[in-house]
Chain A
Amino acid sequence: MKQRKSRIVAYVIVPLFFTMIGYGVVYVAASPFINIVTTAGSMFMTESLPEFSEELGSIFSEPDKDAEAEEIPLADVTWPKFGEHYANVTCEQIGLDVPLYYGDSMEIMRVGAGQYQGSFIPGYGKTILLSGHNTTYFSPLQKIAVGDEVTIKTSYGIYRYQVRETKVLNESDPQAVDLLQKKEELVMYTCYPFDMLSSTDQRFFVYADKVSGPVLK
């Protein structure tokens, strides 16, 4: 009985022992490469499971009564993340009414206007650069004229801008937009001309100055 018990135990202990020696030998032989492999492998992996959701988030809500205040502390404002719908852009004179997303990827441009992430949000006192497709959301821009009023409604305030000028420039013209200026200016641009199958080297720019809206301090 005792012998049988020790035989049964041997069927567990000996294979485990062999396994440990086998893994030990492999570990010792491969140890110079293990670090390299794990470091290289970590470059192709994320901390959590990848997200492929195509739905874009929204942080927009109708502004409350403080929306007409003159100043709002910056700490009270939620800065939008890439892909988030955070405002609506309207212009009654031309029938423009589009959701505004932070970022300007292809996915965003399919569902609204996009904001260049290197520009600033309304109220910050700097350039706000928006883009949209000329055949969909920014199609009404072809009717815009100097003096028209464009409204950007955010969760923290309502901003009004008056169109100062429109221009047609080459897409890579460095004079088209000044992101470093210390004045709040709304710049909207889209492909030009607005006809079907037109060359897309040129862009139609709309420049508008701020008329009203709370300042972010």
Chain B
Amino acid sequence: MEYQKTKKQSSSNRKGRTIVSMILSFLIAVTLTMAALLGSLRLGFLNEKMIVRSLNVKDYYGVVCDDFYERVEDLSIPLGIPKSALEGIVDTNSMYNDIRASLEASLTGQTYQPDTGKLRTKLKENVENYAKSREIELGEAQQTVLNTYLEQAAEQYVRATKIPFIEYYGRIHSFAEKVITVGILGCLVFAVLAGIVLFRMYIWKHHAMRYLVYSTLASGMMIGLVPAYLLLAQDYRRLVIEPEYLYQFMVTYVTNGLLIFEGFAMGFFGIAALLLLRIASLRRRLIKNSRG
């Protein structure tokens, strides 16, 4: 009778311990997922290096330069200024330096104004040389029109060196950085504490480790499933963004950001695999010791 009672008590204790372990395992999964989510944002979408990398992929700088020349050509044609007058007014290197400087300034909440003096001087020189070659004398009215044209060309250059919406990114970035650091630490501390409680509930540590495997596998799935779907369906490629160079940059940026999430998911699966190996090795040792 006593034996039956003890057996029943022992069975209900085990059930209770299993339920508590499952709850702790789920909570560890949720906190690890949140930590991974914050970490993915920090290393992915909120990483300045990610923006720079996305700009490099599709020759953003070269395409922006071409686009700038096209826009200035559109200003030039109605004024009788030929395409040849635009030669050498800007080169890809200086555009690259100005875009990078503008990006870095925006990310730190500052403004950067590129120097357009060289562009205006060179363009004015080209136009005046062209007029001279056609024996056209530029009167006062024409000089006024020329000055307006140079201003408009300079405005197009300043516009070309700015990446749209990057100032808002800079503001979000500085605020989010603090929140993310605190959030990740908080989640990891909670996960560790829950893990300690879990381990203390079991004499055989490999029993507790099973629940950690459930947690890491679940975290991997939770953090990886939605980005995997987005990467496969590629719905974000239907974004309405113009011009094309900006669209390509955004698509690359989003793709790289989603891949970071997948990296974390793979990391969790890797940890789960290591834990499984450890569980197997602990069990073998236990069996060996019990036989010995």
Instruction: Please list the residues of chain A having a beta carbon within 8 angstroms of any beta carbon in chain B.
Output: 7, 10-11, 14-16, 18-19, 21-23, 44-50, 52, 106, 109-110, 133-136, 191, 194-200
Nearest CB in chain B: distance from A99 CB, A: 16
Nearest CB in chain A: distance from B208 CB, A: 14
**How far is it, in angstroms, between the C-alpha of A52 and the C-alpha of B63 when the chains are bound?**
13
Supposing A19-B225, A44-B240 touch, asked if A196 and B80 sit within 8 A by C-beta, the answer is yes
In the assembled complex, which residues on chain B have CB atoms less than 8 Å from the CB atom of A11? Answer: 210, 213-214, 217, 276
B77 touches A45 (CB 8 A): no
In the assembled complex, which residues on chain B have CB atoms less than 8 Å from the CB atom of A16? Answer: 218, 221
**How far is it, in angstroms, between the C-alpha of A104 and the C-alpha of B77 when the chains are bound?**
15
B142 touches A198 (CB 8 A): yes
Supposing A18-B218, A22-B29, A22-B33 touch, asked if A200 and B78 sit within 8 A by C-beta, the answer is yes
In the assembled complex, which residues on chain B have CB atoms less than 8 Å from the CB atom of A197? Answer: 79-81, 127, 131, 138, 142, 145-146, 149
Supposing A45-B238, A197-B138 touch, asked if A135 and B80 sit within 8 A by C-beta, the answer is yes
In the assembled complex, which residues on chain B have CB atoms less than 8 Å from the CB atom of A21? Answer: 26
* Residue of B33, B237, B276 touching A49 (CB-CB under 8 A): B237
**How far is it, in angstroms, between the C-alpha of A183 and the C-alpha of B214 when the chains are bound?**
80
- List 21 A-B residue pairs with CB atoms under 8 Å apart, sorted by A's residue number: A10-B210, A10-B214, A11-B210, A11-B213, A11-B276, A14-B25, A14-B217, A15-B221, A16-B218, A18-B215, A18-B218, A19-B218, A22-B218, A23-B225, A52-B243, A110-B77, A135-B77, A197-B79, A197-B142, A199-B145, A200-B78
A23 touches B145 (CB 8 A): no
Q: Which of B25, B222, B225, B242 has most A Cβ within 10 Å? A: B222
Instruction: Please list the residues of chain B having a beta carbon within 8 angstroms of any beta carbon in chain A.
Output: 22, 25-26, 29-30, 33, 73-74, 77-81, 127, 131, 134, 136, 138, 141-142, 145-146, 149, 210, 213-215, 217-218, 220-222, 225, 235, 237-244, 247, 276
In the assembled complex, which residues on chain A have CB atoms less than 8 Å from the CB atom of B79? Answer: 135, 196-198, 200
* Residue of A14, A23, A198 touching B214 (CB-CB under 8 A): A14
**How far is it, in angstroms, between the C-alpha of A164 and the C-alpha of B46 when the chains are bound?**
65
A49 touches B238 (CB 8 A): yes
In the assembled complex, which residues on chain B have CB atoms less than 8 Å from the CB atom of A52? Answer: 243-244, 247
* Residue of A10, A14, A15, A195 touching B80 (CB-CB under 8 A): A195
Q: Which of B73, B79, B215 has most A Cβ within 10 Å? A: B79
Supposing A23-B222, A196-B80, A197-B149 touch, asked if A50 and B136 sit within 8 A by C-beta, the answer is no
B239 touches A198 (CB 8 A): no
**How far is it, in angstroms, between the C-alpha of A44 and the C-alpha of B79 when the chains are bound?**
36
B218 touches A106 (CB 8 A): no
* Known A7-B210, A45-B239, A52-B247; 7 more pairs at CB < 8 Å: A10-B214, A19-B225, A45-B240, A194-B80, A196-B80, A196-B131, A198-B80
**How far is it, in angstroms, between the C-alpha of A177 and the C-alpha of B127 when the chains are bound?**
34
**How far is it, in angstroms, between the C-alpha of A23 and the C-alpha of B225 when the chains are bound?**
10
**How far is it, in angstroms, between the C-alpha of A5 and the C-alpha of B145 when the chains are bound?**
84
Q: Which 5 A-B pairs have the closest CB atoms?
A: A196-B80, A18-B218, A15-B217, A52-B244, A15-B218
B218 touches A48 (CB 8 A): no
Nearest CB in chain A: distance from B257 CB, A: 16
Nearest CB in chain A: distance from B128 CB, A: 10
**How far is it, in angstroms, between the C-alpha of A195 and the C-alpha of B244 when the chains are bound?**
35
In the assembled complex, which residues on chain B have CB atoms less than 8 Å from the CB atom of A199? Answer: 141, 145
For B149, the closest partner residue in chain A by CB is: A197
In the assembled complex, which residues on chain A have CB atoms less than 8 Å from the CB atom of B131? Answer: 196-197
**How far is it, in angstroms, between the C-alpha of A46 and the C-alpha of B238 when the chains are bound?**
5
In the assembled complex, which residues on chain A have CB atoms less than 8 Å from the CB atom of B222? Answer: 18-19, 22-23
Nearest CB in chain A: distance from B117 CB, A: 21
**How far is it, in angstroms, between the C-alpha of A48 and the C-alpha of B234 when the chains are bound?**
11
In the assembled complex, which residues on chain A have CB atoms less than 8 Å from the CB atom of B142? Answer: 195-198
Nearest CB in chain B: distance from A135 CB, A: 4
In the assembled complex, which residues on chain A have CB atoms less than 8 Å from the CB atom of B215? Answer: 18
Nearest CB in chain B: distance from A57 CB, A: 18
Nearest CB in chain B: distance from A189 CB, A: 12
Q: Which of A50, A194, A197 has most B Cβ within 10 Å? A: A197
**How far is it, in angstroms, between the C-alpha of A195 and the C-alpha of B33 when the chains are bound?**
68
* Residue of B30, B78, B134 touching A133 (CB-CB under 8 A): B78
B240 touches A46 (CB 8 A): yes
For A197, the closest partner residue in chain B by CB is: B142
